Amino acid sequence: MKKSPAALIAEKRDGKEHSADDIHALIQGFLDGDIADYQMSAWLMASYLRGLSQGEMLALTEAMLDSGRRLERGRAETLRVDKHSTGGVGDKVSLPLAPLVAACGLQVPMISGRGLGHTGGTLDKLESIPGFSVNISQARSRRILDRVGFVMMGQTRDIAPADRRIYALRDVTATVACEPLIVASILSKKLAETLDGLVLDVKVGRGAFMKDEKAARSLARSLVDVSQTSGTPAVALLSNMDTPLGTSIGNTLEVKESIAILRGTGPADTTELTIELGAQMLLLGKVTTSLVNARRRLRQALTSGYALERFAQMVELQGGDARVVDDLSLLPQARHRLLVKSPKAGTVSDIDPLALAHLSLDLGSGRKRASDKIDPGVGIELKAQLGDRVAQGELLAVIWSQDRSALHVQRAQAAFRVGRARPENPRLILSHRIVGKSLSR
Amino acid sequence: MKKSPAALIAEKRDGKEHSADDIHALIQGFLDGDIADYQMSAWLMASYLRGLSQGEMLALTEAMLDSGRRLERGRAETLRVDKHSTGGVGDKVSLPLAPLVAACGLQVPMISGRGLGHTGGTLDKLESIPGFSVNISQARSRRILDRVGFVMMGQTRDIAPADRRIYALRDVTATVACEPLIVASILSKKLAETLDGLVLDVKVGRGAFMKDEKAARSLARSLVDVSQTSGTPAVALLSNMDTPLGTSIGNTLEVKESIAILRGTGPADTTELTIELGAQMLLLGKVTTSLVNARRRLRQALTSGYALERFAQMVELQGGDARVVDDLSLLPQARHRLLVKSPKAGTVSDIDPLALAHLSLDLGSGRKRASDKIDPGVGIELKAQLGDRVAQGELLAVIWSQDRSALHVQRAQAAFRVGRARPENPRLILSHRIVGKSLSR
């Protein structure tokens, strides 16, 4: 007998484990309208507080994946890989990574999201390129994929529609920060790309959704295990998000940094992370079995300019002005540059990523509600890095702003700590290779 | 700053305590449409799993009470009391109790509910009287109250509308069985009657919502404490619901038993419970300070026929055919009477109230969904009581049914256990007088 929605909710409320069939019925019932929003949100809260087992998490991922279409498999001889990051401050790695990996012979059909909370979104960044469109039909995305090896697009309506509706509910019912729900949400979209391998960049630290390493490691394991069991080999990295990544926060500024990375002139940390994530993708895509070899190939693709050329081709095919690659002044820029100077001499011992992210959000680089319009030209350029010695009055950062409010400068200044002590050199990558194991069904 | 709905939900999700102001904002926001159904249901589930403090329960009750109108106070010289029962199988006590207490000089403005789950509803029972209306305007209810001292009506749209909407959500989101939510739901309606005293009959046992005495006692205490603190003196009784109450289950049958009680010829247990609840109401209504005296007055009101007369007057004023009091055949009756006989000789050692309640429900005496129509004429008459000696083939019960299905008889038979052992004589009333204390705000 089919269980009633209230009976399913009661099971989870009482900490019982759902069968895979019941979870599929829950998701299908929700899409069909037999299970109402208010019932789904009660189930989500019960799941948040009672947890979901590995089996339930797997079933939920697959039920959400099955709620929509998957991308068709491409040319048989080309393997397909992708990367997902759990989001950080200044994380623009997707932009250089996709063309770089495509330049090494793999397909990267990257379906990305918008900015979320304090973190920026790949789609928002790309849209600062004049004319660029992220709304691509399946047919067109396939043509672009065949031509340049990668495409960077938004979630279409027919990909994991259950995830889209459930995410909207979670966002307004305080049920976002729940590992199994996060896993199902991420993977239901990524697995719809019909991949041969998936690399997950799980961020840890003040600027990440996961503040502590234990929770991040657990999320990473769940992601790789569910992906693996669903038939997509996966690898996770744990990376540091205790300070901003790279030297820019804000859409235009992050596109500029991405182009610099593709030129081989980007900041050390974002370049390193791009190479490390790319190397794992190359291994999953069977381009090579050696990590050393993979890294070398990726560096060659940067220095040869081949990856940048791919990026420009993709921009062109997605309607954007590809000349930005050579002329950054074509990107939208905020009216004013406010200089943030060090109030004293010393060593930069801390940079608070959340404080800078919130400042950037307030400048207009992100949305506080879904209807907000993003200002691509605003943001923050970091001019000093952790551990740098600075003189009094030396530049710490430049704020790109539409107004001259002194408050912006004060807020940016407060995000830097300049002291005597040299900070420990933080490790960028905390775990290099968390691989998946098959879960029992 | 006003908290967002998601922030309020997150507080409860994390087990924090809401301020009274926040709870009022939650309820008001829900009524105003600023808090959506799916947000309220997430909050309800978080409250179910995290619990609410006494202060939160009090604030919730008062916020839900304040969401609607209260009955106007009546003539100053007449005190006003009422009774609420948490629901049992065969519990028709409200019907004889209200006229009985009114006959002793108090006002009883009884706002009752429909059948819920396996338990019958006072309104459904009354509606088996031809012509009887439970939908009474405030003006008319006041006239009836002034004339006969009591009225038996449904919850009008303007009484505790927040409760009505929240209850509808709880019913379909598995958040019914939660003490603080139960307390707020019951009291927000009862306190709207503007009472001088409230008696609560909390049922314990297999046929009740509370299966164990500890949970029932806790609910009783919470009810009296919140009522007391909100300004309405209250007393609770704990009563046994391990076997059906009285000798009838089903609407017409229960009206007949109620009239028998009012004639002084009702079953011992329902008569005793009616007298005990009435005695507490007389004490709260300051008719007397002596329980012995209160019981005597109530018995007099039965034997004098005065209470029955009041009942007939109320039926008449609420549009019903008052002749039913003298001619029970005017009540709707099911087509068939199926005889349930004992398969062997012995002592009735158990009668399962839930099994009989579900049988009665399936016969048509209650609703499985809100749109179901009730058949007033069906039900079960018990012909043997716990502890009775029966011969093989002796009558245990009579089923009033619209069909002759042998399955009904088998199900009824299975609800009786006939054995050798004489069961212990169960106590009808487990706790006589649980009084309230003031909670701190």
Q: What is the pLDDT of residue B1?
A: 56
| Residue A34 appears among annotated catalytic residues | no
- The catalytic position among A185, A188, A230, A401 is A185
Residue range B2-32, pLDDT digits in tens: 789 999 999 999 999 999 999 999 999 999 9
A chain contacts of residue B10, beta-carbon cutoff 8 Å: 174
pLDDT of residue A1: 56
pLDDT at B440: 83
Measured CB to CB, residues of chain B less than 8 Å from chain A are 5-7, 9-10, 13, 36-42, 44-46, 48-50, 169, 171-175
Radius of gyration, alpha carbons of chain A: 22
Query: Residue B266 to residues B92, B96, B202: CA-CA distances in angstroms?
Result: 11, 10, 22
Among B7, B10, B37, beta carbon nearest to A37: B37
| Cα three-residue angle B149-B152-B158, rounded to 5 degrees | 110
Closest approach of A386 to chain B, Cα-based (Å): 34
Which residue(s) pair with A238 in the sheet? Answer: A202, A431
Q: Which residues from A are below 8 Å from B when comparing CB atoms?
A: 5-7, 9-10, 13, 36-42, 44-46, 48-50, 169, 171-175
Give me the residue label for tokens 């992370």: A273
Quote the pLDDT of residue A59.
98
Provide the 10 A C-beta neighbour count for residue B200.
27
A173:B38 CB<8 A = yes
Catalytic residue among B189, B190, B217, B297: B189
Residue A40: predicted pLDDT: 98
Reply yes or no on whether the pLDDT at B426 is more than 70.
yes
With beta carbons under 8 A apart, name residues in chain B contacting A37. Answer: 36-38
* Residues of B with Cβ-Cβ distance to A175 under 8 angstroms: 13, 42
Rounded average pLDDT over B392-402:
98
Q: Which one from A18, A114, A170, A221 is the annotated catalytic residue?
A: A170
Radius of gyration over every alpha carbon of chain B, rounded to an integer in angstroms: 22
- Residue A407, classified by CB atoms within 10 Å of its CB into exposed (0-12), middle (13-18) or buried (19+), is exposed
> Residues of A with CB below 8 A from B173's CB?
6, 9, 38-39, 42
Q: How confident is the model at residue B138 (pLDDT cuts 50, 70, 90)?
A: confident
Closest CA to A93 of A200, A211, A214: A200
In total, the C-beta contacts within 8 angstroms joining chain A to chain B are 84
Write out the H or E segment, with its range, that includes residue B63: helix B54-66
Nearest-Cα distance to chain B for A165, in Å, is 12
Query: Is the Cβ–Cβ distance between A164 and A155 less than 8 Å?
Result: yes
SS3 B70: coil
Q: Which residues of B touch A18 (CB under 8 A)?
A: none
- Chain A residues in contact with B50 (beta carbon < 8 A): 49
Q: How distant is the Cα of B7 from the closest Cα of chain A, in angstroms?
A: 7
Among candidates A6, A169, A174 on the partner chain, residue whose Cβ is nearest the Cβ of B173: A6
pLDDT of B115 higher than 90: no
Q: What is the ipTM of this complex?
A: 0.88
Pairing of strands A336-341, B395-401: unpaired
Distance from the Cα of A172 to chain B's closest Cα (Å) equals 5
Task: Give the type of residue at A179.
Answer: E
Specify the pLDDT at position A421. 84
A5 contacts in chain B (CB < 8 Å): 172
CA distances from B261 to B272, B320, B338, B379 (A): 10, 19, 25, 18
Is A189 one of the catalytic residues?
A: yes
CB burial readout B412-433, b (16+ within 10 A) else e: beebbebeeeeeeeeebbbbeb
Would you say residue B301 has pLDDT above 70? yes
| Residue A374, φ and ψ in degrees, nearest 5 | -85, 140
**B26-57, pLDDT tens digit by residue?**
999 999 999 999 999 999 999 999 999 999 99
Q: What is the pLDDT of residue B422?
A: 84
Residue of A nearest to B45 (CA): A42
CB contact under 8 A, A46 and B45: yes
Active-site choice (A22, A82, A91, A163): A163
Q: Which residue in the set B42, B50, B174 is minimally distant from A41, CB to CB?
A: B42
Mean pLDDT along residues B212-232: 96
Q: Is-catalytic flag, B170? A: yes
Three-class SS state of B132:
coil
- Is residue B336 predicted with pLDDT exceeding 70? yes
User: What string of H, E and C letters represents the secondary structure of chain A?
Assistant: CCCCHHHHHHHHHCCCCCCHHHHHHHHHHHHHCCCCHHHHHHHHHHHHHHCCCHHHHHHHHHHHHHCCCCCCCCCCCCCEEEEEECCCCCCCCHHHHHHHHHHCCCEEEEEECCCECCECCHHHHHCCCCCCCCCCCHHHHHHHHHHHCEEEEECCCCCCHHHHHHHHHHHHCCCCCCHHHHHHHHHHHHHHHCCCEEEEEEEECCCCCCCCHHHHHHHHHHHHHHHHHCCCCEEEEEEECCCCCCCEECHHHHHHHHHHHHHCCCCHHHHHHHHHHHHHHHHHCCCCCCHHHHHHHHHHHHHCCHHHHHHHHHHHHCCCCHHHHCCHHHCCCCCEEEEEECCCCEEEEEECHHHHHHHHHHHHHCCCCCCCCCCCCCEEEECCCCCCEECCCCEEEEEEECCCCHHHHHHHHHHEEEECCCCCCCCCEEEEEEECCCCCC
* Contact state of A9 with B174 under an 8 Å Cβ cutoff: yes
Q: Structure tokens of A113?
A: 């999201």
Q: Which two tokens stand for residue B276?
A: 């005990």
**In the structure, what pLDDT confidence band is assigned to residue B278 with cuts at 50, 70 and 90?**
very high
- The pLDDT of B165-191, averaged and rounded, is 94
Q: Give the mean model confidence (pLDDT) for residues B239-263.
A: 97
Nearest CA in chain B to A175: B10
Out of B6, B48, B172, closest to residue A39 by CB: B172
Which value, to the nearest 10 degrees, does the dihedral of the CA atoms of residues A310, A314, A316, A320 take? -120
Work out the minimum CA distance from B36 to partner chain A, whole angstroms: 9
Residue A172: list chain B partners with CB under 8 A.
5-6, 36, 38-39
Minimal-distance CA residue of chain A relative to B15: A49
Name the 3-class secondary structure at B41.
Answer: helix
Nearest to B370, CA basis, from B218, B172, B213: B172
B84 catalytic? Reply is yes
B305 to chain A, closest Cα gap in Å: 47
> How close A177 gets to chain B, by Cα (Å)?
10
Given a cut of 80, is residue B368 above it in pLDDT?
no
The single-letter code of the amino acid at B156 is: T
Total residues belonging to chain B: 441
Quick one: pLDDT at residue B302? 96
CB contact under 8 A, B42 and A39: no
- pTM, full prediction: 0.90
pLDDT of B215 > 90? The answer is yes
Does the annotation mark B4 as catalytic? no
CA pair distance A318, B427, nearest whole angstrom: 80
Tens of each residue's pLDDT in chain A, 441 residues = 578 999 999 999 999 999 999 999 999 999 999 999 999 999 999 999 999 999 999 999 999 999 999 988 877 678 999 999 998 999 999 999 999 999 999 999 999 888 777 787 899 999 999 999 999 988 899 999 999 999 999 988 899 999 999 998 998 999 999 999 999 999 999 999 999 999 999 999 999 989 999 999 999 999 999 999 999 999 999 999 999 999 999 999 999 999 999 999 999 999 999 999 999 999 999 999 999 999 999 999 999 999 999 999 999 999 999 999 999 999 999 999 999 999 999 999 999 999 999 999 999 998 877 778 899 999 999 999 999 999 999 999 999 999 999 999 999 999 999 998 888 888 999 998 899 888 887
pLDDT at residue A440, rounded to an integer:
83
Spatial CA neighbour of A91 closest among A294, A237, A281, A213: A237
Q: How confident is the model at residue B149 (pLDDT cuts 50, 70, 90)?
A: very high
Tokens 């409010």, located at residue: A405
Q: Which residues in B lie closer than 8 A to residue A50 (C-beta atoms)?
A: 49
Closest chain A CA to residue B39: A173
Statement: residue B98 has pLDDT above 70: yes
pLDDT of residue B113: 83
